[in-house]
Amino acid sequence: MVSGRGGELAVAALSGYGIGEVFTPAGEHVPAIHDAARAARMRVVEVRHEQTAVFAAEAVATLLRRPGLAVLGAGPGVTNAVSAITAAHFNAAPVVVLAGRAPAWRWGSGSLPALDHVAIVESVTRSAATCTEVGNIGVDVRAAVLAALTPHRGPAFLDLPMDVVFCAGEAELPAATLPPPVEPDPAAVARAGALLAAAERPVIVAGSDVYSADAVAALRECAETWRIPVFTTGLARGALPGDHPLAFRCCKRAALARADLVAVLGTAPDLRLGGGTDARLIHVVDAPPAADGPPGDDGTLWVAGDLRLVLSGMADHRGVRADHADWIELLRVAEDTARAQEAGHLADDREPIRATRLYAELRRALTDDAIIVGDGGDVVSAAARHLDPGRPGSWLDGGRYGNGGAGLGYALGAALACPDRPVCGLLGDGAAAGSVLEVESLVRHHLPVVLVVGNNGSFGTAGLRGADDRTPGLRLEKVVAALGGAGETVATARELAPALRRAFESRVPYLLNVLIEPRPDPE
């Protein structure tokens, strides 16, 4: 048993999970947690908006493979963060969200704000609950952490009413345990191995969960054992070096069109399959699907379990294996042809600046250890086609939920989680304009993030037209300068390289406002 105020007991219950920081805005419901965190030598990182707190906690959880922590005030403090909690849900990020709540003894009598948060967030969290007694805090907080960490992972939410978090008492503190790995079905693993052995034109598409499950080495072993071409998405990008003979990037559509077997590892088989494939699918996930199961019965072989165990088991399959030398050579020709075409676009120095030229200069400016944060529509989706992260765990974006405005929070969390690595945010002008005031948090916490805005002054996602024309050439760098950072507008291709050099050498939050070619209106 441990004793203290509720806030102290909550922080004590988090010990043993490696949490070193709490992201939070100011709020009258939760200073007891702030005080306890400081006393426990946790860094209290105050931000301007609640969604930034959760996005930053997601970045830390994702990059460091351990829980991230956000602490929010009651009412609008929670509802302001619902989109960010949902993003963590879609991205399977183990974020623990502790929130203030009106005291139980004042519930229904006008206490502000009396709102049932649990009913709002329970559909996008691994668990959502309210702690009702000081003596339950240790058990309830540990339960939230375990729920967040249990595969498939995701955010967990716990309400701490004011009459719980501010009052003194005693609480049981359970041991800081971790969920056991999910053991895969040996028969399913063997079946997957047999399908790989028989396939003549197999392809691997590996996603973020390969990194989150610390299965990068197992992925490489499996690919090299079977001699299978690999395409990566999200955090798995860089799992195989760009010059690895089995690493491919530019010919995915052609590969999927001709493949007879596609193994999708640690990601959903969605638009990242380039619009679909007629090949037989193996879908490897880190936990059994939800009770309603995977959609449809299309012949997909589902293998659920710890990705390291599944991939190692597949690599251990014995028996005759098809030779893939001709298949690899065919894709290598397609890859080289596509990269040759890409090179021409990357070298384009016409004005207005082509987005591809911006990506070319970023490729030269970014070091292998750089973390790239994407936030936007076409600017970011195109960047994903042209930028090669140097190692896994180096690419953060909104994922399948696609939440615009996440970039500043992700960048803040990444810079704190990995202080020895450069962090570059690549943003569309819409995403930047909607979140740029959070740069003040980067300035206050001395985080030298470089923000590169592809400013085309238009709504470009999928060729759709926005509700109204946007103001072209917004001087977003002036906002950053007013908040204590620095920046500049870049209008010509020849200015890109020196501007990027100044940005990374500045050691302050720096925004490059790159005026790129507007997207033509759809017909």
Sole residue written with tokens 């990242």:
272
pLDDT reported for residue 106: 65
Conformation bin of residue 430: beta by default, left when phi > 0, alpha when psi is -120 to 50: alpha
Nearest 5°: phi and psi at 261? -150, 130
Q: Copy the structure tokens of residue 431.
A: 């995403």
Q: Copy the structure tokens of residue 507.
A: 């050691």
10 Å Cβ neighbour count for 466? 11
Most confident of 109-118, 278-287, 512-521: 278-287
Taking residues 301-328, what's their average pLDDT?
92
pLDDT reported for residue 112: 65
Model confidence pLDDT, tens digit, residues 165-177:
999 999 989 899 9
The residue with greater pLDDT, 379 or 170, is: 170
Residue 151 has pLDDT above 50, yes or no: yes
Sole residue written with tokens 């969920």:
179
- The distance in angstroms from the start CA to the end CA of the chain is 69
Question: Residue 523 — pLDDT band, cuts 50, 70, 90?
Answer: very low
10 Å Cβ neighbour count for 116? 12
**483 and 451 in contact (C-beta within 8 Å)?**
no
pLDDT reported for residue 469: 59
Residue 326 has pLDDT above 60, yes or no: yes
Residue 473 has pLDDT above 80, yes or no: no
In whole angstroms, give the CA distance from residue 105 to residue 162: 10
pLDDT reported for residue 290: 63
Nearest 5°: phi and psi at 427? -125, 145
The residue with greater pLDDT, 502 or 290, is: 502
Nearest 5°: phi and psi at 171? -145, 145
Model confidence pLDDT, tens digit, residues 346-355:
888 888 899 9
In whole angstroms, give the CA distance from residue 98 to residue 73: 9
Percent of the chain whose predicted confidence (pLDDT) is above 90 = 77
Taking residues 240-244, what's their average pLDDT?
93
Q: Which helix (H) or strand (E) is 188 found in, with range?
A: helix 186-198
Q: Which residues contact 461 (CB under 8 A, 6 or more apart)?
A: 377, 378
Helix, strand, coil percent content, the chain, rounded in steps of 5: 40, 20, 40
pLDDT reported for residue 62: 97
Radius of gyration of the chain (CA): 24
Taking residues 482-500, what's their average pLDDT?
97
Taking residues 490-503, what's their average pLDDT?
97
Taking residues 24-40, what's their average pLDDT?
89
In whole angstroms, give the CA distance from residue 223 to residue 246: 8
3-state secondary structure of 489: strand
Beta strands in 251-343 (DSSP E): 261-265, 280-285, 301-304
The residue with greater pLDDT, 270 or 439, is: 439
In whole angstroms, give the CA distance from residue 159 to residue 74: 9
Tell me the HSE value of 365 on the side-chain side, using a 13 A CA sphere. 23
Percent of the chain whose predicted confidence (pLDDT) is above 70 = 92
Model confidence pLDDT, tens digit, residues 76-113:
999 999 999 999 999 999 999 999 998 876 676 666 68
3-state secondary structure of 453: strand
In whole angstroms, give the CA distance from residue 206 to residue 223: 11
Residue 122: Cβ-neighbour burial (10 angstroms; 0-12, 13-18, 19+): middle
In whole angstroms, give the CA distance from residue 514 to residue 511: 9
**4 and 12 in contact (C-beta within 8 Å)?**
yes
Taking residues 216-221, what's their average pLDDT?
96
In whole angstroms, give the CA distance from residue 120 to residue 117: 5
Nearest 5°: phi and psi at 316? -85, 0
Whether the ω angle into residue 152 lies within 30 degrees of 0, i.e. cis, is: yes
Weakest mean pLDDT among 257-266, 274-283, 449-458: 274-283
pLDDT reported for residue 294: 54
In whole angstroms, give the CA distance from residue 40 to residue 120: 31
In whole angstroms, give the CA distance from residue 227 to residue 232: 16
Residue 521 has pLDDT above 80, yes or no: no
User: pTM above the 0.85 mark?
Assistant: yes
Over the chain, what is the mean pLDDT?
91
The residue with greater pLDDT, 1 or 247, is: 247
pLDDT reported for residue 52: 97
Taking residues 349-372, what's their average pLDDT?
94
Residue 272 has pLDDT above 80, yes or no: no
